């Protein structure tokens, strides 16, 4: 019987990068290359369940995996529309800025985790990537690492699969650094976003989880320290839109 894991959709880009980042959904573990040239490895057995958070709710780790999976199953069809509505289209600018920092070139071996872009898709666990060591030039993840059960393990895996000199880039919601904007942002997040989710996507609970999960995510400085603890060097971050989101960067040296 299949079990829910911390699922993430990775896209592997060799010669081309697509600008559109979106959440996609598949079941099982698959690759568009039957012979598996990505260097897939077997995932380890399930670990004993312990407690973690799902938004503001305390749940078992196994329960969180299932809940996160069902959130994205529920919102997938309206994902891009809701992103445009919630951010007034600003999320597209944030993603363009991530691309500007990346500066991909022909031949770049890119792993985009928790996205739906690229030439080959693989569905699996961000905490146990099915790729060989020292495989990629760039690892990106946009609005995905917040949903991982063990963020530290996901960061360690990012470090493992990157080549020496490879770069880690993460775009994620963060901590607003202006008190007035923070109060307005909280009001909008808790009073407006779930209502938009109900009206547009027919799903209040998933967007309530969204705003709660943002508040549970580490601050810019705390996340920077976590990235350094995973082995990355020259770790920096840039806050965007008063800290609503931040782009963190680090190198495997």
Q: Is 241 annotated as a binding residue?
A: no
Q: Is 58 annotated as a binding residue?
A: no
d(CA 223, CA 243): 13
Helix (H, G, I), strand (E, B) or coil at 205: helix
> How many of the other CB atoms lie within 10 Å of CB of 100?
9
Placement of tokens 């967007």 in the chain = 207
Q: In what order do the strands lie in the sheet with 233-240?
A: 120-125, 7-13, 110-113, 136-142, 162-173, 245-251, 233-240
Cα dihedral 81/86/90/92 (nearest 10) = -30
d(CA 217, CA 166): 25
What are the start-end ranges of the H helices in 192-252? 193-196, 204-216, 220-229
> Which tokens sit at 252?
């495997």
Q: Do the Cβ atoms of 43 and 145 come closer than 8 Å? A: no
Q: Is 114 annotated as a binding residue?
A: no
d(CA 154, CA 129): 8
Give the annotated binding-site residues.
117, 125-126
Give the annotated binding-site residues for S-adenosyl-L-methionine.
117, 125-126
């Amino acid at each position: 019987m299949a079990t829910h894991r911390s699922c993430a959709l990775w896209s592997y880009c060799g010669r081309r990068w697509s600008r559109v980042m979106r959440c996609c959904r598949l079941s099982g573990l698959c690759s568009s290359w039957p012979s598996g040239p990505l260097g897939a490895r077997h995932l380890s057995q399930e670990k004993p369940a312990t407690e973690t958070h799902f938004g503001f709710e305390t749940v078992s780790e196994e329960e969180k995996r299932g809940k996160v999976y069902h959130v994205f199953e529920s919102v997938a069809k309206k994902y891009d529309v809701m992103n445009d509505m919630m951010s007034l289209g600003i999320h597209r600018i944030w993603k363009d800025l991530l691309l500007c920092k990346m500066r991909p070139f022909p031949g770049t071996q890119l792993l985009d985790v928790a996205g739906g872009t690229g030439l080959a898709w693989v569905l699996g666990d961000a905490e146990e990537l099915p790729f060989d060591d020292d495989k990629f030039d760039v690892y990106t993840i946009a609005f995905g690492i917040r949903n991982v059960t063990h963020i530290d393990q996901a960061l360690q895996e990012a470090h493992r699969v990157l080549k020496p000199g490879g770069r880690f880039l993460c775009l994620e919601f963060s901590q607003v650094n202006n008190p007035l904007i923070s109060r307005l942002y909280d009001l909008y997040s808790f009073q407006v976003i779930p209502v938009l989710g109900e009206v547009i996507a027919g799903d209040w609970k998933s967007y309530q989880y969204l705003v709660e999960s943002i508040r549970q995510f580490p601050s810019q400085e705390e996340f920077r320290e976590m990235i350094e603890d995973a082995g990355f060097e020259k770790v920096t971050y840039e806050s965007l839109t008063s800290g609503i989101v931040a782009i963190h960067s680090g190198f495997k040296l």
